[in-house]
Chain A
Amino acid sequence: MTIAFHPDIATLMAFSAGTLEEPYTVVVATHLAMCEACREQVKRTDLIGGALLASEPEAEMVPGALDRLLAAADSDDVAQPIIVPDTGVPAPIAHYLPRGLDGVRWRWSGPGVAVADLPSSSAAKGRLMLLRVEAGRKVPEHGHGGQELTLILQGAYRDRFGRFGAGDIADHDEDVEHQPIAEPGEDCICLVAVDAKLSFRSRLVRTLQPLFGL
């Protein structure tokens, strides 16, 4: 798989630091599962965290803390690797999609466009969803309220930035406007993380669009 578009390095640093909101974290993790170059990149950004940890001052542990650990170690088993069932989707999203992309329950979201929300924890800020655009279909031109991360899982689309195929990630800031067109042949399915509040706003805008003839 040749991947042409990667997350911004600032996004990967936030992933390493653990400061990306949950939906974005899932999208980045899924990209990492598909992209060797970014796995290498994250090893480097993780090093920053490791160095900072090692140079932390030492906080005082409560008395008996080590004994408590050793007692817990007595009764604790060795961790087993987690076996992720192969449903044809990358491991980080496999548990959302027990029957793969064929089993997704899509919701109509406009001509040729369907979405399916993926559950996040209630603490999560933002929204994680799958977006399906019919082959050959044009997505109405739109801007982004906040950060939008879009990872292509299947098919491909083109916009003014180029061609985005499986494994490519579009890491767009708030001020980016684009009009993706799905390539003919196969429906384009993407994993998308957006800011929840702002996507609500854009839905409102979408609802109002016909009224204002936009």
Chain B
Amino acid sequence: MYATIMTEAKSTTGAMPERAEPAELIRRVAERRDKAALSALFVQFAPRIKSMMLRLGVDAAHAEDLAQEAMLSVWRKAHFYSPDKGAASTWIFTIARNLRIDAARRQSNRPYVDLEGIEVESEAPHGHALLEQSQIVARVSKALEVLPEEQREVVRLSFIKEMSQSEIAQRVGIPLGTVKSRLRLAYDRLRPLLEDLH
């Protein structure tokens, strides 16, 4: 069973070069300032962050910088991460996302207190058994794949193209209300899985 899922993870996400789970690597960074672990995280995530940024129309140099900054944030903030807050890839995604938003705002030369730093503590119960990261990723990716095309499209445009809902409406040529209802339908389909995962 486990082996099957691992195979699926590889086929849908590309082989991860490092065997250690990202959550474990982050823990090693937090506890031991372990640079080998940081390097392994870099190999797993920096090229993917850069790719995601390039998709957003960020130029290559800036995409490279954002990937660097995100990995440096992982180094500096590793002790804020705990596996019961969610998958490591999710945490790193939110770091990269917030850096991109901050960078866009900094271009305006106004001081800005980032929202990420003032995240509130969750009262969610601690310590329940978490799935292996690769399984989480594989399952969410698979769930996204089986969404009806029109729902998958609005999710991808939101998360990967980072288009606002009104931009999606324009691009796809549907009313704003339809964008929202497709997102709601997509979420309804994903929800049982997502609830299962955290």
| Chain A interface residues toward B at CB < 8 A | 8-10, 13-14, 16-22, 25-26, 29, 32-33, 36, 39-40, 43-62, 65-66, 68-70, 72-73, 76-79, 81-82, 84, 91-92, 94-95, 119, 121-124, 146, 173-175
Contact = CB atoms under 8 A, between A and B. Distances in A.
Contact of A69 (B71, B110, B198): B71
Contacts of B50: 59, 61
Contact of A46 (B47, B80, B94): B94
A51 B136 contact: yes
B72 A79 contact: no
Contacts of A54: 13, 48, 89, 137, 141
B49 A53 contact: yes
Most chain A CB neighbours (cut-off 10 Å) among B63, B89, B122, B144: B89
10 contacts: A9-B184, A40-B198, A46-B86, A48-B144, A49-B159, A50-B89, A51-B136, A52-B156, A54-B137, A55-B12
A61 B184 contact: no
Interface in B80-131: 80, 85-94, 96-98, 100-101, 104-105, 107-110, 112-113, 115, 117-118, 120, 122-124
Contacts of A81: 80, 117
Nearest to A32: B120
Residue of A20, A48, A77, A121 ringed by the most chain B CB atoms within 10 A: A48
A122 B35 contact: no
B13 A59 contact: no
Nearest to A13: B183
Contacts of A123: 104-105, 107-108
Given A47-B194, A68-B68, A55 B137 contact: yes
B94 A49 contact: yes
A70 B113 CA distance: 27
Interface residues of B, number: 88
B184 A50 contact: no
A61 B46 contact: yes
B158 A14 contact: yes
Contacts of A82: 113, 117-118
A26 B123 CA distance: 21
B149 interface: no
B27 interface: no
A59 B108 contact: no
Interface string B1-43: 0000000000011100000000000000000000100110011
Contacts of A174: 176
A45 B184 CA distance: 11
Q: Provide the main secondary structure of the chain A interface.
A: helix
Contacts of A72: 68, 72
Interface in B149-198: 155-156, 158-160, 162-166, 176-177, 179-181, 183-184, 187, 190-191, 194-195, 197-198
A21 to B, nearest CB: 7
B62 interface: no
A76 B46 contact: no
B110 A13 contact: no
B186 to A, nearest CB: 8
Contacts of A39: 120, 122
Nearest to B107: A123
B94 A47 contact: no
Contact of A61 (B64, B89, B144, B155): B64
B113 to A, nearest CB: 5
A79 B89 contact: no
B50 to A, nearest CB: 4
B110 A10 contact: no
Contacts of A20: 164
B110 A19 contact: no
B144 A52 contact: yes
A73 B75 contact: yes
